[in-house]
Amino acid sequence: MTTQLPGPTVARWRTWPLYTAGFTTAFGAHGVAANLGRFTTGHHDSLLMLGGLLALYDGAEVLLKPVFGTLSDRIGARPVLIGGLIAFAASSVLFTLAHDSGLLWAARLGQGAAASAFSPAASALVARLNPAAKRGRAFGSYGFFKSIGYTAGPVLGGALVALGGLTLLFTAMTALAAVVAVWAVCTVPPLAPLPRQRQTVLDLAKRLGQGSFLRPTTALALATAALSVGVGFLPIAGNAAHLGPIATGAAVSLLAATAALVQPCAGAALDHGRLTTSTGTTTGLAVTAAGLAAVTLPGLSGLLLAAVLIGTGTGLITPIAFTALAASTTPEHLGQTMGSAELGRELGDAGGPLIVAAVATVTTLTGGFAVLAALTAAAVLTARPATSQSDQPQVPSDGLH
C-alpha cells in the first residue's frame, strides 16, 4: 500500500478555483475549436489552416502535461496552477491586440501550453487538499465543471463570436483566466513541495508501468475516446437514420449532460463505500461499451440510449479512476501521475475518433462503433486487479480528517 503523508484540512470553498480552472481549460479547448472555421474560411488552404490550429492546442497538451506535472511536484502545484492561468490569459490577449492569423497561431499554441500547466496542477491540488474519504466527490465535482466547459464551450463561444467575432471570444477567455488566477492567489492555500527521493527514468517507467497506474489510465483513455466519438459521430449516425438536427443535437446534449451529472454522484458513492474502485471502473467500462453498441439499434431510441449509456459509463469512470490514481500515488509524485494520466486521456480523445473513422471507411459507421465497443468491453477483463485490496471502500489513509 502507498504511504501517504499528512496534509492540511481546508474549507471546501478554498478549492473552488480549482474546479473553475477545469472549466477554463475545457472552455478554451472547445469554445475556440468550434468557431475557428468562421475565421479560416476564405484564407488560402483554409482546411489545412483549420486542421493545424485545432492540432496546436491538443498537441501542446500531449507533449507538455507530463512535464508540467513533474514541475508541480518539484516547485509546488499552486505556483504552476497560477502561472499557467496567467500564461493562458497572456496568450489569449495576443489575438485581441490584432486580428492577425499569425497571432492566432501563437495564441492557440500558448493556450495549449498554458492549459498543460494548470490542468494537472489543479488535479494534483484536488487530491492534496481533500482527505482520502472525500476525494471521490472532489474529483466528481472537478469533472462536472470540466464537462460543463466542454458542453457550453461551443454554444457560449458561438454566441460571443456572433456578437464580436473571435476577438470578443479571446477577450472573454483572457478575462476568465485572469479572474481565476486572482481567485486562486487569494483562496487556494500554499502547499510546500514535499521531499522527493531521486528518481531515474527507469524508476519512472517502472512506476507508470504498474497496474495501479495503467488500469485507471486505460479506463480514462477509453472513456474519453467514447465521449469524443459520441459527440463527433452520433450526429452522423442520426443523419444516416434520417433524423433531423434537433434530434441529433438533443442526443449529444443528453450525452454531455448525463456525463456531467453522474460524476459527482459516482464520486460520492465511492466515498461512502457504496462503490469500490474496481467495481465502479468495470461497471463504467461495461456500460460505456453497451452504449457504443447501442448505436446499431434503429431510430431515435437507439441514438438516445447510446447517449445515456455512454454518458453514464464515462461519468462513472472519470472520478473513480482519478481517485484511484491519487490513492496509489505518494503525494510528492501526484503532479507527475496526474500529468501522465491526462496524457492518456488526450491520446484517447484523439485515438477514439481515428479508430472509428478508419474502420468506418472500410466498413460502416456502426462497424466503427462496434470495434470501439469491443475494445472497451475487452478492457473490463483487465480493469479488476488480481488482489482484492482495491475492492475495499475508500478510507482516509493520509492522515487528513
Q: What is the mean pLDDT of the chain?
A: 84
DSSP H or E run through 56: helix 46-75
What confidence tier does 3 reach under pLDDT thresholds 50, 70, 90?
very low
The answer to whether residue 311 scores a pLDDT higher than 80 is: yes
As a whole number of angstroms, the distance between CA 367 and CA 191 comes to 49
- The 3-state DSSP class for residue 99 equals coil
Specify the pTM: 0.82
Q: Which three cell numbers stand for residue 389?
A: 485490496
As a whole number of angstroms, the distance between CA 99 and CA 220 comes to 38
pLDDT in tens, 24-76: 998 888 788 777 766 655 554 555 666 677 677 878 888 898 889 889 988 99
For 381, phi and psi rounded to 5 degrees? -70, -25
Q: Residue 224 carries which side chain, given as an amino acid letter?
A: T
As a whole number of angstroms, the distance between CA 134 and CA 127 comes to 9
pLDDT in tens, 227-268: 888 888 888 888 888 888 778 778 888 898 899 999 999 999
Nearest to 172 by CA among 155, 158, 160, 185: 160
| Residues above pLDDT 90, as percent of the chain | 43
Q: Which three cell numbers stand for residue 266?
A: 459516482
pLDDT score of 331: 82
Q: Which three cell numbers stand for residue 120?
A: 494537472
Nearest to 380 by CA among 267, 291, 283: 283
Burial class (CB in 10 A: 0-12, 13-18, 19+), 45: exposed
Decide: 103 and 39 in contact? Cβ < 8 Å.
no
Nearest to 131 by CA among 292, 8, 25: 8
Give the angle subtended at the CA of 326 by the CAs of 325 and 329, to the nearest 5°.
85
Q: Which three cell numbers stand for residue 90?
A: 497572456
pLDDT in tens, 192-231: 876 666 555 565 566 667 788 899 999 999 999 998 888 8
